[in-house]
Amino acid sequence: MKGPQQLPETTPGRREFLAGTSIASWRGSPSQAGKARRQGGIPLMRSRFNRRGPRPTVRPIRKPPLASLVLSRMGFGPRPGDIEDFLALGADDNQRLLSYVERQLDPESIDDSELEARLQQAGFTTLDKPLDQLWNDHVTADGIDYRVRIQPLLELERATFMRILYSRCQLAELLADFWHNHFNIFAWDFPLFPVFVSYDRDVIRTHMLGNFRQMLEAVASSPAMLFYLDNFTNSTAGPNENYARELFELHTLGDENYLGILRQSEVPLDEQGRPAGYVDDDVFEATRCFTGWTVSEESGSLTFRSDWHDRFQKSVLGQFFPPNQPDFQDGIQVLDLLAEHPGTGRHIARKLVRRLVSDDPPEELVQQAAQVFYDERESPDQLTQVVRTILLSPHFRANWGNKVKRPLESVAGFLRACGADLTLTTEDRFSDIFFYLYSHTQQSLFNWRSPDGYPDSQHDWLSGNPVVHSWRMFNWLVDEEDEGQYFLDILGSTPASLRTAPQLADYWIERLLGRPMSTSDRREIVDFMAQGRGPEIDLRWDVNERVQERLRSMVALIAMSPEFFWR
């Protein structure tokens, strides 16, 4: 990992601060840093079949108050006033956590009028278009330029970031991001980007707190997934196993239940008499089941071509499929078998626990959540019950620092903590520059090319590029101005009564972290702000432009500390 000394010195003393803090102990070893490479603009991270590896070195950490932990882990970090709102939910932490979880698991009950007003102000015109209109207006229409074709995805990118920044339904936004990665689609290809709005709205967000089996079929039926994994070309004349392979390896059973090249008859059975896992022949047979599932040229929706379908008998996961079944029936049965297999519950539970609790998911909690997943497989709120089980477990409260913020969480968390007042549109200069610079952090929205989705462990994100470019985003956000107006009003957000370096440091440390900083790091922040003056000197930051610049830089420096990145 490149050392922090390579950051541009926009403020005197910044290099000295970075060199003196514990950021050096936060970095991975040189051998690990060497693994951060780029190929075609995409970071080369570890294969999904090799998730284990040396862990980065981090110093011992203290667990924060529950309010800070919950708002950092169940969303994208607190905005001003959020911690106070959490503390008002009950007489003790148990009541507050229960109340907050139940409220967040019912997003329809939450007043999100601020977000809705901001989205309306942005002037988006494509986000409510039904699938057939998206298809007709942006895919099949003649004589339209590229900007019109990609407009739905550009609007969705900006709307998604605004939801993350301003929605009070923070858990819903975190889960939308989780499921987008679980059922990952690289959206920035034609004809994917015109129809991806429907995938986000009608598939991911509609089902993410509902029933997994229904969600699985909605994904399989979506033109975005049919195009991305090539099932729209899957026919008896040219079978394409891309979708069937990822359906088993990523969407349902996962590699933990893959038994290799055994014959189907050699697969051991579980206690219920079902195959304990899957083999390659199951994938090949499932590929035959999904022949004929394609996209209508007229509407962009799922359609069935019986002349493309393999109508002969098949066998998947020990289940015999008779020949000549009705349209779609073979594929529907595959989805049924996978959704109700206990291995799918374990795989989904493990990923949810990894996202919500720890990079090393506690096995006890994984098994508990997997059991709820299986027991509630017929329930319309199955996924809500699984998430509730995880969030109300002792493991959720006990774990801290076993995850780090990925760039989406760190940049969004910084903006939320600073009280950003932004409207991201497809027309203004700031939005274009913002998303261009953000793309260098390597976690652009809907932009992971392979179907396994963005990685979810600190090992993958503590390399040089994601961290350093997140730091650069912090610097740019506090320094960027337009006609004298800063995009982050750090000065206007700082109480005028705070005059000394310790007062200013403590205010912004608490605001960005939701808790005190370690003594050594706080001292570095105070020293940076004081610039050799005594701690009780009035810095007169209301009139001194150099001190104003230093105050903005101090806020960015706090966000560069290891403590800001812990989850």
43 pLDDT above the threshold of 70: no
Query: How many C-beta atoms surround the C-beta of residue 428 within 10 A?
Result: 14
**String of b and e for 260-289 (b: at least 16 CB within 10 Å)?**
eeeebeebeeeeeebbebbbbbbbbbbbbb
DSSP secondary structure string for all residues of 509-548: HHHHHSSPPPHHHHHHHHHHHHTTS-TTS---TTT-HHHH
pLDDT tens digits for range 58-93: 554 688 999 999 999 999 999 999 999 999 999 999
Q: Which of 9-23, 99-113, 472-486 has the lowest mean pLDDT?
A: 9-23
Q: Which of 71-75, 164-168, 171-175, 429-433 has the lowest mean pLDDT?
A: 429-433
Mean pLDDT across 80-109? 97
Alpha-carbon distance 197 to 203, whole Å?
Answer: 10
CA angle, 90 then 91 then 92, to 5°: 95
45: pLDDT confidence band, cut at 50, 70 and 90? very low
Alpha-carbon distance 218 to 193, whole Å?
Answer: 18
Which residues contact residue 231 at a Cβ distance below 8 angstroms, ignoring those fewer than 6 apart? 225, 240, 242, 243, 244, 290, 293, 294
pLDDT tens digits for range 333-392: 999 999 999 999 999 999 999 999 999 999 999 999 999 999 999 999 999 999 999 999
42 pLDDT above the threshold of 80: no
Alpha-carbon distance 460 to 466, whole Å?
Answer: 9
Alpha-carbon distance 158 to 149, whole Å?
Answer: 16
Using H for helix, E for strand and C for coil, what is the string for 345-411?
A: HHHHHHHHHHHHCCCCCCHHHHHHHHHHHHHCCCCCCHHHHHHHHHHCCHHHHHCCCCCECCHHHHH
Encoded amino acid at 271, one letter: E
The widest CA-to-CA distance across the chain, in whole angstroms, is 85
Mean pLDDT across 27-31? 31
pLDDT tens digits for range 386-415: 999 999 999 999 999 899 999 999 999 999
Percent with pLDDT over 90 in the chain = 83
CA distances from 160 to 127, 157, 397, 399, 405 (A): 11, 5, 28, 28, 18
pTM above 0.85, yes or no: yes
Kindly state the tokens that stand for 52.
Answer: 């284990």
Element (H, E) at 180: helix 170-182
28 pLDDT above the threshold of 50: no
294 pLDDT above the threshold of 50: yes
Residue 51: the pLDDT is 36
> What is the SS3 assignment for 161?
helix
Q: Are 177 and 444 in contact (CB under 8 A)?
A: no
Torsion angle (degrees, nearest 10) of CA 129, 133, 138, 144: -110
Alpha-carbon distance 55 to 550, whole Å?
Answer: 35
Packing angle, helices 382-391 and 93-104, rounded to 10? 160
Alpha-carbon distance 248 to 244, whole Å?
Answer: 6
262 pLDDT above the threshold of 60: yes
Residue 46: the pLDDT is 31
Q: Are 234 and 291 in contact (CB under 8 A)?
A: yes
Percent with pLDDT over 70 in the chain = 89
**String of b and e for 431-457 (b: at least 16 CB within 10 Å)?**
beebbebbebbbbbbbebeebbbbbbb
98: exposed, middle or buried (Cβ count in 10 Å: 0-12, 13-18, 19+): middle
- Give me the chain's average pLDDT, please: 89
36: pLDDT confidence band, cut at 50, 70 and 90? very low
Q: Are 287 and 321 in contact (CB under 8 A)?
A: no
Alpha-carbon distance 144 to 72, whole Å?
Answer: 43
pLDDT tens digits for range 539-554: 999 999 999 999 999 9
The ranges assigned to domains in the chain are 1-64+405-567, 229-340, 351-398
Residue 61: the pLDDT is 67
**String of b and e for 511-539 (b: at least 16 CB within 10 Å)?**
bbbbbebbeebbebbbbbbbeeeeeeeeb
Query: What are the backbone dihedrals phi and psi of residue 500, each rounded to the nearest 5 degrees, phi first?
Result: -100, 165
Element (H, E) at 485: strand 485-486
Residue 483: the pLDDT is 67
Alpha-carbon distance 337 to 330, whole Å?
Answer: 11
164: nearest Cα among 201, 99, 100, 115:
115
Alpha-carbon distance 162 to 159, whole Å?
Answer: 5
Residue 39: the pLDDT is 31
Mean pLDDT across 255-275? 94
Residue 484: the pLDDT is 67
Q: Are 537 and 530 in contact (CB under 8 A)?
A: yes
517: nearest Cα among 507, 529, 527:
507
